[in-house]
Structure 1
Amino acid sequence: MKKQLYIVLITVFCILLLDQIMKIWVKTTFDYTGENSTMPVFGSWFRLLYIENQGMAFGTTFGASIWAKLGLSIFRIFASGAIAYYFIKQWRKGARTEFLLAIGLVFAGATGNLIDSMFYDFIFDYDPCIGFNHLEGSGIWSDCGIMGKQETRHTGFLMGNVVDMFQFTVEWPSWVPWYDKNGDNQIFPAIWNVADGAISIGVIMIIFRQRKYFPKDKQGLKAQPR
């Protein structure tokens, strides 16, 4: 059982380390506009694109008030705690290593994005005039020179942006019915990070492997995860 625990803990640590290395490297190396904001990785279908989002995975937001962002960050804390508790409970019951890894991936992803919100406003200089720091309806105004006054987001502990950088740039072929000649035809336009990827992989594993993780006994009742 200890071997299982070590495997998952090492995996979680490596994901968190890679996630933070990528975010800090992108944030300190890339510009938020201009030629240095992107970097092709695999030809024309995958690239690095530096952005920051104020919400959840893939840029989902919940409004402009301070309570919306604070509530989201607090939710992340409780979610990470609940996942950790569930992991320990399943580990003690002797759950399958693969299932524990799936839980660990979700935990690592949630924690990785939480770190950004908790500390990045203290580690990095805050520029209220950068586009991804604008937040209409916040009530916080900053003078941005030729841009005029702009409403900017709330800052501080649990208020930081999440750094994203990965983007698939593959477009739908022109023969599909929904192809728009004058629009954006990217198959998956969202920009994401290592943490988002870990959460997605963990959830997909649980969905597609649930019969293995939650086998049924002879009476048709679900047994404990294995």
Structure 2
Amino acid sequence: MSLKKASIIIIFILLIDQISKIYIKTHFAINDSITVFSWFKIDFIENDGMAWGTKLSDFFDFISDKTAKLTLTLFRIVAVTAIGFWLVDVIKKQKSKILIFAISIIFAGALGNILDSVFYGILFSDSHMQVATFLPDEGGYAGVFYGNVVDMLHFPIWSGVLPEWLPFIGGKYFSFFDPVFNVADVAISTGIGILIVFNKKAFKEEIKTDKSDLELRNNPI
């Protein structure tokens, strides 16, 4: 796969991700919800931490929420830069299309969430109890690097009380699937899933090289 095709994939995902986020941000207030189907809802929330709203300050008491937010944003920037270099490298070396595709959508997803973290704080007004304004005259709700990631996709596929015969969790209320996420998260999860499920196809050249090296070590000339 060429760099041009990978770029098209990245731009396509970024457009869908950012258009959906901007629409939600400018049409919904925090916690506004629309039921599309019984198993699919649009629930607007903002995430200022990692997955499921987890923050570094939740683990380290000496870190303030503001410092934790800045650290997370900077880490994301470093991570997406590393993924970008990896993508360029595998394209130059003409690795498998599966590997290039997977890295491309992971990169697009990571970049999509970085745009929220870096710029949304200065581009939008606050969404609590109101619909946000794009480029508000009074300024945004936070500074550069302190924006929140916009999430809206919710799939409450099933909820209910689990059967009593199940060990440990029997008789307890359970809901699947509770996390609210966005298009960027879907891209990242899909890319990682592809690398896990199609590991041998994605890294076939590396596997062949490792086998060849092992054979040479075991059978020296």
Shift of 1:199: 0.4
- 2:110 and 2:171 map into 1 onto residues whose CA distance is 35
Aligned to 2:4: 6
Name structure 2 gaps, 5 residues minimum.
Answer: 58-63, 130-140, 214-221
Aligned to 1:68: 68
May I ask how many residue pairs the two structures share in their alignment? Answer: 192
Partner SS, residue 202 of structure 1: helix
Aligned to 1:134: none
RMSD over aligned CA atoms reads: 2.4
Partner SS, residue 163 of structure 1: strand
Q: TM-score, normalised by structure 1?
A: 0.77
Partner SS, residue 176 of structure 2: coil
2:33 paired residue among 28, 31, 38: 38
Aligned to 2:192: 203
User: Contact (CA 8 Å) 1:173, 1:179: kept in 2 or not?
Assistant: no
1:212 paired residue among 193, 196, 201: 201
Percent identical pairs in the alignment equals 37
Partner SS, residue 144 of structure 2: coil
User: Contact (CA 8 Å) 1:58, 1:196: kept in 2 or not?
Assistant: no
Q: Matches of residues 110-121 of structure 1 in structure 2 within 5 Å?
A: 110-121=110-121
Partner SS, residue 39 of structure 1: strand
Residues 1:19 and 2:28 aligned together: no
Shift of 1:58: 3.5
The 1:180/1:120 distance shift into structure 2, 3 A limit, reads: farther
Moved over 3 A (4+): 172-176
For the pair shown, the structure with the greater C-alpha radius of gyration is 2
C-alpha distance after superposition, 1:63-109 (max 9, x if no partner): 24322111100111111110000111111111112211100111111
Q: TM-score, normalised by structure 2?
A: 0.78
Name structure 1 gaps, 5 residues minimum.
Answer: 131-153
User: Contact (CA 8 Å) 1:168, 1:189: kept in 2 or not?
Assistant: yes
- 1:94 and 1:22 map into 2 onto residues whose CA distance is 33
